[in-house]
A and B are shown apart, each in its own frame.
Chain A
Amino acid sequence: EPEVTQTPSHQVTQMGQEVILRCVPISNHLYFYWYRQILGQKVEFLVSFYNNEISEKSEIFDDQFSVERPDGSNFTLKIRSTKLEDSAMYFCASSENAGGETQYFGPGTRLLVL
């Protein structure tokens, strides 16, 4: 069964450093998303991406965040200057169609900012 994959599974970084989280969405999917879950809190939407541009972003997704689809298979989330409060589980998701009905999630990257 096709699945969304994410690398790395864990990332530890120093405050102020840049991190890039990588995702490989399901191959025939056209809509891509990033979510995060801070420990003990709910899963929160960060950004959606379609046709090589951001289609929607939340208040969390400020200028420190960026997304990119550098080639036909990868989808990346970059945090330019990490803060302690960026420590969370980051989930990539993809969907085949435009509706939010069925988004498939990757296993997540656990980011720890020290």
Chain B
Amino acid sequence: DQQVKQNSPSLSVQEGRISILNCDYTNSMFDYFLWYKKYPAEGPTFLISISSIKDKNEDGRFTVFLNKSAKHLSLHIVPSQPGDSAVYFCAASRAGGYQKVTFGTGTKLQVIP
């Protein structure tokens, strides 16, 4: 089941620069797309989401862009900070009634001071 794919297992970025994490999906029925951040030995922490009817959502340093025609979304972190170093999971869900979240495989981001 590869409905949500993150093709880059890792990414290294200098502190202060932009981090761009990418995600592709195959199921056009998804209504929400989410990004979770995960530190070792902790659960995924919700970061930001976007509805399928929007193309951009911004929250502080984090912006998610959605391109429905390409079935692609990306998370931009500007400026990147060392504390952002973690595994980032792209995820998706459908609206209405106890819907499960489908996760990608994750991208490990390292922000170098």
A and B: real partners? yes
Mask, B84-113, CB within 8 Å of A = 1, is 000001000111111111111110000000
Q: How many B residues touch the partner, as a band?
A: 20 to 34
Q: Quick check: B98 and A105 within 8 Å, CB to CB?
A: no
Choice from A4, A6, A98, A102 contacting B96 with Cβ under 8 Å: A98
Tell me if B100 and A104 are in contact (CB < 8 A). no
Give the interface size bracket for A toward B.
20 to 34
Query: Main SS of chain B's interface residues?
Result: loop
Q: How far is the CA of A24 from the CA of B28 in the complex (A)?
A: 34
Q: Which residues of A contact B43 (CB under 8 A)?
A: 4, 6, 91, 93, 105-108
Question: Contact: A99 with B46, CB < 8 Å?
Answer: no
Q: Which residues of A contact B51 (CB under 8 A)?
A: 101
Q: B31 on the interface (CB 8 Å rule)? A: yes
B104 touches A42 (CB 8 A): yes
By a CB distance below 8 angstroms, the chain B residues around A45 are 100-102
Contacts of B44 in A (CB 8 A): 43, 91, 105
A contact residues around B95 at 8 Å (CB): 98-101
Structural contact, B100 and A102, CB atoms closer than 8 A: no
- State the Cβ distance, A102 to closest chain B Cβ, in Å: 6
Docked complex Cα distance between A42 and B100 (Å): 14
Q: What is the bound-complex CA distance between A91 and B102, given in angstroms?
A: 14
Chain-B contact segment, one of A13-21, A48-56, A63-71, A77-85: A48-56
Of B32, B34, B46, B100, which is in contact with the most chain A CB atoms at under 10 Å from its CB? B100
Partner among B41, B45, B93, B96 whose Cβ is within 8 Å of the Cβ of A105 = B45
Q: Does B42 contact A (CB under 8 A)?
A: yes
Judged by a CB distance under 8 angstroms, whether B19 is at the interface is no
Complex Cα distance, B41 from A103, in Å, reads 18
Q: Does A75 contact B (CB under 8 A)?
A: no
Given contacts A42-B106, A99-B32, contact A104 B46 (CB under 8 A): yes
Contact of B103 among A31, A43, A55, A104 (CB under 8 A): A43
Q: Which residues of B contact A (CB under 8 A)?
A: 31-32, 34, 36, 41-46, 49, 51, 89, 93-106
